[in-house]
Structure 1
Amino acid sequence: MGDVVNLRQARKQKARTEKERLAEQNRALYGRSKVDRQRDRLTADKAEKFIAGHHRETPGNRDDK
């Protein structure tokens, strides 16, 4: 015979697990310091400028039309 499961307790445990998963996801997204965010933004901007600076412009491929 199978184990008896209290559905109320199972439902509450499932809700706790989901809440913890969401909390961990938010910690990963928003748990960074201001300095870390600025450093990552500066690195991304520097890479973007580097790529844009090395972009070859062809006569048929102009953005200012």
Structure 2
Amino acid sequence: MAEIVNLRQARKRKARADKARDAAENRALHGRTLSERARRKQEAERAARTLDGARLDPDPGEPGRD
């Protein structure tokens, strides 16, 4: 014989598991410490400075460039 399953309880169990999985993903994405956020910001700023430093100024006599 088949096991009898209460669908309401099964739906609630699945919803709790989905919610727990989403919470774990959010903790991984947003749960960084202050020092990690500061380090990441410094790296982004350094990369932006490097990119801006390597930028070539457009030739003023070249058509199509502003």
Q: Above 0.5 in TM-score?
A: yes
Aligned to 2:23: 23
Q: Share of identical aligned residues, percent?
A: 42
**TM-score (norm: length of structure 2):** 0.78
Map 1:1-65 → 2, pairs under 5 A: 3-59=3-59, 60=62, 61-62=65-66
Could you tell me which runs of 5 or more consecutive residues in structure 1 were left unpaired when the two chains were aligned.
none
| Number of equivalences | 62
Q: Which has the larger radius of gyration?
A: 2
Could you tell me which runs of 5 or more consecutive residues in structure 2 were left unpaired when the two chains were aligned.
none
**TM-score (norm: length of structure 1):** 0.79
